[in-house]
Amino acid sequence: MEWLVSPARMAGAASLLAGYAALCAGVAWQVRGRRRQEAAEAHMGGQGPGVLVAYASQTGQAQAVARATAQMLGQAGFQVLLQPVEHITAALLQSSPRSVWVLSTTGEGDAPDHALSFMQQVLPHSCALQRHSMQVLALGDREYAQFCSFGQQVHDWLQTQGANGPLTCVDNMHPATLQAWQGQMEQQLQQWAAAAGVDAMAPQGDWLLPTPRQRMRLQRRQLLNPGSSAGGLYVLDWVAEQGALPDWEAGDLVSLAVPADPERPRDYSIASTPADGCLQLLVRESLRVDGSPGLASGWLCTGMAEGDVLEMAVRAHPGFRLESNAERPLILIGNGSGLAGLRAHIKARVQRGLYAQWLVYGERSPRHDAICGEELQAWLEQGKLERLDLAWSREVPQRRYVQDVLLQQAEPLRDWVARGAAIYVCGSMQGMGQGVHQALEQVLGADALQDLQRSGRYRRDVY
């Protein structure tokens, strides 16, 4: 078993206890502020017909599209209620004559994490929706077998309950498909207005605007795992070609498309904060079945040269930001390139003087895959990490994965959660993401884990 406790832990215990009351007060203030903002944003528009706009979003894309759609409908004169799907009930649906759904599918056909209660409490039951008009926009990726399956599931359920309306599936935010749906929505709002006997203002311009892109220059690229049996894992430092860096928060993503595949942008977790002076990515070079490198990772890791320029867009990732967890203790769990998002959170908190964080990180070999090892060890020794557990699956007497660490350290895990800790998981869905979820259920209980998820204290960025 390899677990380490910082020398500063005992010295900092008193200050942690003294600061806990202030932490709770600060968190409560942040939660109240966020709820006021969400309530103000949920209701928008004029005195025209009512429209419910619902979204399920894992990385923020569906939420952004839903918000843009709600703003367009509000400006056209509709009364709009914008809600995440976990706030949708049968009673709310039955009181809403029309609805727009923007639904992401994540992993191998899964619903986004926050949609769990909707899946359990609404979809299994009947709901009379005769004469209900709907539009469903499903976001997905055709590289997965279950393409847009959550959006299709919700559309099928709505139709079974008597609702009427089309389903549009979008592959990887394809611009032409989104543009066609934008035109479809503009026609729909005119039909809704005419059926209600009112006039609707026509939308002005392209209301479904893409995220602005910025030209970024590759300043430095370094291989972090020479000799590893896994694919090469590189850190890439980017600076703005002109002007200032884009703004982002820890937990956010960057979207980019490489010259070899310009129609398929990829999302990567940002591994740094703006205070670092560069935008850092951790990218694993993936290999196809025939041994050739993946188009995007191959170009980023070995194809382009330092000094080359690439357009990219920073995307807010509300589901993985700190938000109301900014001052809570954090349990950070991940593997491989998933260290990127966790590292950004550690950096952001260290810059604010917050050190109550426990990192559980897994990789293959301690000899070749000690990713950012010196940095992590320095944080531990300086007391900026309260605890660090490393799990190795190769070249060790006994293989361990991060989910094994959680089971072995069940008592400290329960103690941290009792202290108010939030849990953030970043890395691969297959194996790690599923195994961690099962281990957390076993240690904390399924109901308690669902409660953490609903309250925003259990967040995942798994892929």
- Tokens for 437? 């979820």
Determine what percent of the chain is predicted with pLDDT higher than 70: 91
Name the strands in the sheet holding 79-84, side by side, starting at the edge strand that comes first in the sequence: 43-45, 79-84, 50-56, 98-104, 133-140, 167-171
Return the higher-pLDDT residue of 306 and 32.
306
Q: pLDDT tens digit string along 62-78? A: 999 999 999 999 999 99
Measured CA to CA, the distance from residue 277 to residue 273 in angstroms comes to 8
| pLDDT value of position 20 | 37
pTM of the model: 0.85
Query: Which positions ≥6 away from 51 have C-beta within 8 Å?
Result: 73, 78, 79, 80, 81, 96, 98, 99, 100, 192
Q: Which of 207-211, 295-299, 373-377 has the lowest mean pLDDT?
A: 207-211
Measured CA to CA, the distance from residue 174 to residue 139 in angstroms comes to 9
On the question of pLDDT at 30 being above 50, the answer is no
Measured CA to CA, the distance from residue 187 to residue 194 in angstroms comes to 11
Q: Which of 4-13, 174-183, 280-289, 400-409 has the lowest mean pLDDT?
A: 4-13
- Label residue 290 by pLDDT band (50, 70, 90): confident
- Label residue 41 by pLDDT band (50, 70, 90): low
Q: Give the mean model confidence (pLDDT) for residues 27-33.
A: 40
| pLDDT value of position 227 | 93
Measured CA to CA, the distance from residue 153 to residue 115 in angstroms comes to 13
Bridge partners (DSSP) of residue 80 are 44, 51
| pLDDT value of position 137 | 98
Amino acid letter at 365?
S
| pLDDT value of position 404 | 97
Q: Are 400 and 366 in contact (CB under 8 A)?
A: no
Give the chain's mean pLDDT. 90
On the question of pLDDT at 29 being above 80, the answer is no
| pLDDT value of position 34 | 42
Q: pLDDT tens digit string along 170-200? A: 999 998 999 999 999 999 999 999 999 988 8
Measured CA to CA, the distance from residue 250 to residue 253 in angstroms comes to 9
Bridge partners (DSSP) of residue 333 are 360, 425
Q: Give the mean model confidence (pLDDT) for residues 7-12.
A: 44
Which among 61, 102, 106, 70 has a CA at the least distance from the CA of 85?
A: 102
